[in-house]
Chains A and B, each alone.
Chain A
Amino acid sequence: MGGFFQVAWAVAGRQIYKYFTNPAFLAPALFPLFFFVAFAGGLTRVGDVPGFDYAAGYIAFQYVWALLQAVSMGGAFTGFSIAGDFENGFARRLMLAASNRYGIILGYTIASLVRATMTGALVTVIALVTGIPISGGFDLFGLIGLAVLVNIAATLFGAGVAMLLRTQQAGPLIRTPIFLVLFLAPVFVPLNLLTGWIETVARLNPFTPILTAARGFLAGDPTDVATAFAISAALVVALALWAVYGLRRAEKAG
């Protein structure tokens, strides 16, 4: 067990060092920030649509989506880093040296959490500057908890794909499904205002209850909390198995 944590800390330490010595480590925050500015700035009047009943207002409504997008993209970018490590040969040497290879997955996940903390903080600072009201009190810890679980799930998904394909060309296969899951949720208006095919898809999308609960936390009106945490935890478990499968395929490939 000691080997598991030793490997995890070593991998995490290297990744975190790489992040802080490369200004591009904030790149996962760029698209969420841009969407936040574009949607919160340009679509504020959508909050006036009859039936739009989010108490914290439209900017806060968009902030939660941007925050969860930032932490998800942090996970995706960690997947890109893993793929890069396989391409440049580092990951193969790491797998030869590691006494417990499962620690590699934990290490990348810890590093991803550090990155997501930075990108999430950046999005939050911008949102505070634009004047989002914080009315959730201690409920905000619920929002942070969900963001952490979303980041872990996205990281494990990206790690699984990266270890399975072991090439940076896997980038679109990591990024596109995450983008689709994020966009096929109630991005612009609450679920009750969606109609047609997007409503059906959003209702089936496991990210929707997570987003709804996260918005509830920010507004100080927690909604479907147990469902959101249960889905997040289930996603983490399922995607951890996916990452382990990717690791085993990488081991077999040598």
Chain B
Amino acid sequence: MSGSSFLTQVWALARRSIVRTMRQPAVIVSALLFPMMFFSINASGLDAASRIPGFPTDSYLDFAFAFPLVQASLFGAITAGSDLARDIESGFFDRLSLTPMRPVALLGGMLAGVVALGLLQGVVFLAVGLLMGVNVSSGIPGMFVLVVLTVLVALGFGGIGAILAIRTGSVEAVESAFPLFFVSIFLSSINLPRNLIEADWFRFVATINPISYLVEGIRSLVITGWDAQALFLGFGCAIAIMVLAIGGAAASLRTRVA
């Protein structure tokens, strides 16, 4: 099978994935509304935290801006994973395997849908954040980097959603993973910088939690400008999660098809 034919298959399934998502207004609204709602509540409710000595910025709004981007990636992963599980439950996946289409194209198509949703969320959140008063210190180039990092995070989470979907073949199982994802976001440096976390066990968990580095990479673009170390760790973690998750999803797919 030629490369162009494979890409055609991926494109066909990506279009199907995107159209299916766009035809579910409830999914789009919740993917855009809930992260912004939580962001707005957290940023306002914790505004006083910016008065803690040593806090890296005087605006908690800027500090918290990574939250909706990471949370939205999580929502996107659950949505995409659920869609893939639904394809397995409904028999679409089995019918697809009877055609010359390569099953890995289904994974590629699903991940393309994740990228599209992640891109939409990144751009919308950036626009809303700027309107709310978020100041991106790294300027317009930093905004592009921020969206790229957000899309990589979405791809990584999307890969994990795909593993769950392929291994369980159950929408319910994918949906029930939501609290685990949610917990892992909060057990990171999402609400306070790691050096200001007082509880030793929490600081330890936040330090070994890769989400802290994704958050800090995004955050550095907003509150610091260009911080090479934070960006290196952020992109490094995002790419590592993406490679491991997509690799794991492809391996799971091979097992399922075999």
Contacts and interface: CB of A to CB of B under 8 A. Distances in A.
Given A42-B191, A42-B202, A48 B183 contact: no
A49 B49 contact: yes
Interface in A171-204: 183-184, 186-189, 193-198
B145 interface: no
A194 B60 CA distance: 12
Interface string A233-249: 00000000000000000
Interface string B45-87: 1111101110000000000000000000000000000000000
Given A30-B179, A42-B186, A51 B45 contact: no
B143 interface: no
Contacts, number: 81
A169 B16 CA distance: 27
B179 A42 contact: no
A40 B191 CA distance: 11
A51 B49 CA distance: 11
Interface string A32-69: 00110111011111101111100000000000000000
B257 to A, nearest CB: 34
B198 A51 contact: no
A183 B44 CA distance: 11
B206 interface: yes
A122 B133 CA distance: 41
Interface range on chain A (Cβ under 8 Å from partner):
20 to 34
A198 B44 CA distance: 6
Contact of B45 (A30, A37, A49, A187): A187
B206 A184 contact: no
B46 A38 contact: no
A50 B51 contact: yes
Nearest to B198: A44
A254 B44 CA distance: 47
Closest 9 CB pairs of A and B: A198-B44, A38-B186, A41-B202, A44-B198, A193-B48, A188-B45, A41-B199, A49-B48, A189-B48
28 contacts: A34-B182, A34-B183, A38-B186, A41-B197, A41-B202, A42-B186, A42-B191, A42-B192, A42-B199, A43-B49, A43-B191, A44-B197, A44-B198, A45-B49, A45-B196, A45-B198, A46-B46, A46-B192, A48-B53, A49-B51, A49-B52, A52-B48, A183-B45, A188-B45, A189-B46, A189-B49, A198-B45, A198-B47
